[in-house]
Amino acid sequence: MDESDRPDWKTRHDMNEKVKNLGKLLKDRRSYHGWTLAEVSSMTGIATSTLSKVENGHISPNFDTILKLSHGLGVEIGDLLNSSPNEPTPPLVVARRSISRKLEGQQLDRQYYRYSYLSSDVAHKRIIPIHIEVCALTPEQMGPLTAHVGEEFILVLKGKVRLFSEYYEPTDLEEGDSVYLDSTMKHGYMSLEAPSSSIVVCCSSATPNLAQTLREVIKEQIISEQQVKGKA
């Protein structure tokens, strides 16, 4: 039997191809967001020299490095390893449509925020629309600012919210006001009216499975809130 017919050889070959593709994905992702190697190093905790070698295919990253890339860049491990630059572009899907009645969708609840993922029946969306009921009335209830991949558009539907962001002074937004921001900049919002305010957030990124990435961010916040509550 030829060596290329052996299952173990095929497994090693497939993994080597995936590792090579990971370097290209990392380089393309940096280019898309305009990140430097130093910025990615700060996000992931991986040395710039190591990142450069991974991008150029000079080394094969170990599992710990892949985990750091996955967590730091907000990408699932499966997406890192399964993205192939040689795969043909999938055919354009046309005539897709999804209706969400009265802002109802897939629910995720934090202590002071209620998230409804709209049009959740449509897979592989480039835009993720989310209706958020903002119940946090103080910075303490809002918690620390967070960031994730991509960009987002925020529209206030009801009430009044205060938008906090990493590089700007807090901004108050009233009903009908909107803002477009870079989601990699830490940000957060609280309601200025009791009991809550309502906003729609549309997130967009070239990242595969963006909806799952955003859900993971929220789930981490839920776990953190539960841990704090358990210590109280």
For the stretch 69-107, pLDDT in tens is 877 876 666 666 654 444 444 455 567 788 888 878 888
- Predicted confidence (pLDDT) per residue in 181-228, tens digit: 999 899 999 999 999 999 999 999 876 677 777 887 888 888 888 888
* Chain centroid offset of residue 222 CA: 16
Short-list 199, 117, 99, CA closest to 155: 199
Output the 3-class SS for 42-91: HHHCCCHHHHHHHHCCCCCCCHHHHHHHHHHHCCCHHHHHHCCCCCCCCC
**How many whole angstroms separate alpha carbon 215 and alpha carbon 20?**
28
pLDDT at 81: 64
Per the confidence metrics, is the pTM higher than 0.85? Answer: no
